[in-house]
Amino acid sequence: MQTLHVDVDTWLHRLTPRVKLLALAALGVVLFLTQSVPLLACANLVGAGLYFRAGLSIRDALRRLRPILISIAVLAVFAALVGPLHAAIVTALRLTALALFAATVTATTSTAAFIDEITALAMPVEKVSPLKAADIGLAIGLVIRFVPEILDRYQAIREAHQARGIKVRLVTTLAPLIILTLRDADNIAAAIDARGIRRQ
């Protein structure tokens, strides 16, 4: 199974997961509070600078961001059609900056470190609810781990459609993607239960 983590040694990798997660949360709050286009543009430049120093090649870095950037572009066009242009630009810059910072965190933090840190941060939730901190950490870690697998599977489905001369459409690719993803999720859940991880 692939991972979004890039195994190199940079100052970003040496930061603790807690520092990176708290910084990402704080940046998210700041980005959604400001309406300044110049400030958001600067945030995008900083985010891009950090992301491209995470140890990825330019090609891989852009390939990882392509789906989210396409989604942001579609959302921005829709926002421009139904509302003021300034709001559409702010939305696009805000989401792009957040995506760059989030991608930097995932590229510089291993899945195991994510799970350990989120489990530790979720301990107060365990005291006031029936949820288990370890289950929360495991669930989020699996989501992060599954992202590249889902993207690769979608690409494989597209290539299979093209090889058979079938026009690639969202309707024809979404159903097999969901079925394959749910099947893998069931297999992983069965493996987790077989090892008694959720009963420890």
pLDDT in tens, 41-73: 999 999 999 998 888 888 888 888 887 888 888
Q: What is the pLDDT of residue 38?
A: 92
Helix or strand or coil: residue 7?
coil
Helix or strand or coil: residue 41?
helix
Q: Residue 138 pLDDT more than 70?
A: yes
Q: Residue 2 pLDDT more than 70?
A: no
Q: What is the pLDDT of residue 191?
A: 67
Q: Residue 193 pLDDT more than 90?
A: no
Distances (CA, A) of 192 to 69, 148, 182: 34, 20, 15
Q: What is the pLDDT of residue 1?
A: 42
The angle formed by the CA atoms of residues 66, 68 and 70, to the nearest 5 degrees, is 65
* 180 backbone dihedrals φ, ψ, rounded to 5°: -65, -40
Ordered DSSP codes for 55-105: S--HHHHHHHHHHHHHHHHHHHHHHHHHS-HHHHHHHHHHHHHHHHHHHHH
Structure confidence at residue 195 as a pLDDT band (50, 70, 90)? low
Q: Residue 17 pLDDT more than 70?
A: yes
Q: Which residue has the higher pLDDT, 84 or 124?
A: 84
Q: What is the pLDDT of residue 4?
A: 67
The alpha carbon dihedral of 122, 123, 129, 133 has a sign of positive
Helix or strand or coil: residue 1?
coil
